[in-house]
A and B are shown apart, each in its own frame.
Chain A
Amino acid sequence: MSDAALIPARLTPTPVRTIAAKDIRDALRDRFILIVTAFLGLAALVALVTGAIALRSDVATYEAAKATLLALGKSADAIKAPEFYPLRLLRGAIEQIEIIGAAIAILIGYRSAASERGRQTLALMLTRPMRRWQFVAGKALAGIGLLAGGLALVLGGLTLVLHFMSGIGLGADDLLRIAVVWGVAVAYTACFFLVSFILSLHMKQPSHALLVAFAVWLTLVLIAPQIGDTLDPDNQVAGGVFKQLNIAKPDQVEIMKGFATFETVRGGIEQASVTKHFERFTFAVLGIKATYAGMPLGPILTEMRGNLIWIFLTALGLIAIALALPLNPDRLAKA
Chain B
Amino acid sequence: MSEPLIRLDRLTQSFDGVTAVDALSMDIEKGEIFGFLGHNGAGKTTTIQMLTTLARPASGTATVAGYDINKDPLEVRRRIGYVPENVRLYDTLTAAENLVFFARLSGVDAPARRVRQVLELLDCTYLADKRVGGFSKGMRQRVGLAQAILHDPAVLFLDEPTSGLDPMGIKMLRDLVMRLNTEFGMTIFMNTHLISEIAKTCTSIAVLSHGKLVFHDRIDAVTARYGDDAALEELYLSLTPVGRLAEVA
Contact residues on B (Cβ < 8 Å of other chain), bracket: 20 to 34
Is B53 within 8 A of A127, CB to CB?
yes
Residues of chain A with a CB closer than 8 A to B74's CB:
129
A234 within 8 A of B: no
**Which residues of chain A in 94-127 are interfacial with respect to chain B, using CB atoms and an 8 Å cutoff?**
115, 118-121, 123-127
**Which A6-46 residues have a C-beta within 8 angstroms of B?**
13, 15, 18-19, 22, 25-26, 29-30
Q: Which of A18, A29, A123 makes the CB contact (< 8 A) with B92?
A: A29
Interface residue from A120, A125, A330 paired with B88 (Cβ < 8 Å)? A120
**Is B231 on the interface with A (CB-CB < 8 A)?**
no
Q: Given A119-B87, A127-B77, do A26 and B105 touch, yes or no (CB 8 Å)?
A: no
In the complex, what residue of chain B is closest to A17 when comparing beta carbons?
A: B104
Contact B104 A120 (CB under 8 A): no
Quick check: B109 and A124 within 8 Å, CB to CB?
A: no
Q: Check A22/B77 contact, CB under 8 A, given A119-B90, A123-B82, A124-B147.
A: no
Cβ-defined partner of A127 (8 Å) among B54, B89, B92: B54
Query: Measured between alpha carbons, how far is A15 from B88 in the docked complex, in Å?
Result: 20
| Residues on the B chain within 8 Å of A25, using CB | 92-93, 97
Contact A15 B105 (CB under 8 A): yes
Q: Is A128 a contact of B88 with CB atoms below 8 Å? A: no
A3 CB within 8 Å of chain B: yes
Given the known inter-chain contacts A119-B88, A123-B84, please indicate yes or no for A128 contacting B54, CB distance below 8 A: no
Q: Is B227 an interface residue (CB 8 A)?
A: no
Contact B54 A22 (CB under 8 A): no
Q: Is the CB of A124 within 8 A of B93?
A: no
17 contacts between A and B (CB under 8 A): A25-B93, A119-B87, A119-B88, A121-B90, A124-B82, A124-B102, A126-B53, A127-B54, A127-B82, A128-B102, A128-B106, A129-B74, A129-B106, A129-B107, A329-B54, A330-B55, A333-B84
Residues in chain A within 8 A of chain B (CB atoms): 3-4, 13, 15, 18-19, 22, 25-26, 29-30, 115, 118-121, 123-130, 329-330, 333
Known: A119-B89, A124-B87. 14 other contacts (CB 8 A): A22-B90, A25-B92, A26-B93, A119-B90, A120-B84, A120-B88, A124-B82, A124-B84, A128-B105, A129-B74, A129-B78, A129-B105, A129-B107, A130-B105
